[in-house]
Amino acid sequence: MQVPAQFEYERATSVEDALAFLARHGPEARVVAGGHSLIPMMKLRLAQPDALIDINDVDELSYIRIDGDHLCLGALVRHAELLDSAVVGEHFAVFHDAERVIADPIVRNRGTIGGSLCQADPSEDLSAAFAAVHALAVIRGPDGSRTVPIREFHTGPYETAVEPGELLTELRVPIRPGGSSAYEKVERRVGDWPLAAAGAALWLEDGRIAEVGIGLTAVGAAHFVAVEAEEHLRGAEPSEEAFAEAGRIAAEHCDPGSDQRGPADYKRHLAGELTARALSRAFERAMGRSRT
């Protein structure tokens, strides 16, 4: 039987509560909501926190709303809520695409978007999706709130910009006209971690690509982003050839490893192919929207 090491347990009912508990228990305290990643690690004793701060009752972190020119998502939004939201689908189809292929209904009903991002698994789907749309992470601590671009949020495998005593509270996604997005993934079986996956977002202006975002996961892309491929596309005319070249560049600059899910060369090939597919699908959606 796998049993976690002993720990203290606190149940927060507000953000202030959670921050107070984090301050009380120190840097070895961990926040838990869905717990689908942390609890298995604790059972294997790969993680041994001194205290768990349960934030499931912090309702102020569970919301989806438009605030000016941003889509705002509370960190406690469940995967299923993100998938079911018409507002999310209207503005950022990439999230619906990604959520349809994340785990299974049990995980999606309990797991949270904040928990997924804070786990910082190198194969996490939402990390690539949020990177593609240039999201911002709002982090709250004893001295107030600060905002970090999601592309600077992940500092390494299983490491983030959230410091001890701080809490990720919100994801903010800029809304701008002329754009759409998509997510493509290859997995060994339904709900598995990806062999490779790519998220893409395009914003068009005067027939050219004014801005672009490409997120990659499971292929060793720094900060889950294909920066060089993005640079290639900015200002270019959208075409299958341009998207294929962006995929080639993305594959060239990622650094996948060989493991039980597949060899590195195959993952690199997938990174390029999925990047091109996601870009093409995002472009088709953007053109469809402009005709309606």
pLDDT in tens, 177-186: 999 999 999 9
In whole angstroms, what is the distance from residue 83 CA to residue 248 CA?
30
Report how far residue 292's alpha carbon sits from residue 289's, in angstroms, rounded to the nearest whole number. Answer: 5
When the pLDDT of each residue in the chain is averaged and rounded to a whole number, the result is 94
Contact 74, 169 (CB under 8 A): yes
**What average pLDDT does this structure show over 133-153?**
98
Residue partners of 189: CB distance under 8 A and separation at least 6: none
**What are 56's two structure tokens?**
């499931």
The Cα-based distances of 6 to 3, 37, 81, 168, 206 in angstroms read 9, 18, 33, 25, 61
3-state class of 271 per DSSP? helix
74 φ, ψ (degrees, to nearest 5):
-65, 145
CA distance 222 to 256: 11
Tell how strand 167-174 and strand 70-74 pair up.
antiparallel
216-250 per-position pLDDT tens digit: 999 999 999 999 999 999 999 999 999 999 999 99
Specify the length of the chain in residues. 292
Other CB atoms within a 10 A radius of the CB of residue 67 amount to 10
Bridge partners (DSSP) listed for residue 196: 186
Give all strands (DSSP E) within 100-217, no chain letters: 136-141, 144-149, 154-156, 159-160, 167-174, 179-187, 194-205, 208-217
CA 37, CA 64: separation in Å to the nearest integer? 23
CA distance 157 to 241: 33
pLDDT, tens digit, for every residue of 51-86? 999 999 999 999 999 999 999 999 999 999 999 999
- Please give the DSSP secondary-structure letter assigned to residue 5: P
Strands (DSSP E) found in 218-273: none
- Per-residue pLDDT tens digits for 7-50: 999 999 999 999 999 999 999 999 999 888 888 888 888 889 99
Structure confidence at residue 46 (pLDDT): 82
Tell the residue number behind the tokens 């942390």, with chain if given: 38
Looking at per-residue pLDDT, the higher value among 291 and 185 belongs to: 185
Q: Which two tokens stand for residue 195?
A: 């062999």
The predicted pLDDT at position 47 comes to 86
- CA triplet 53, 56, 58: central angle to 5 degrees? 90
CA 16, CA 80: separation in Å to the nearest integer? Answer: 26
pTM value? 0.94
For residue 9, the surrounding DSSP H or E stretch is strand 8-11
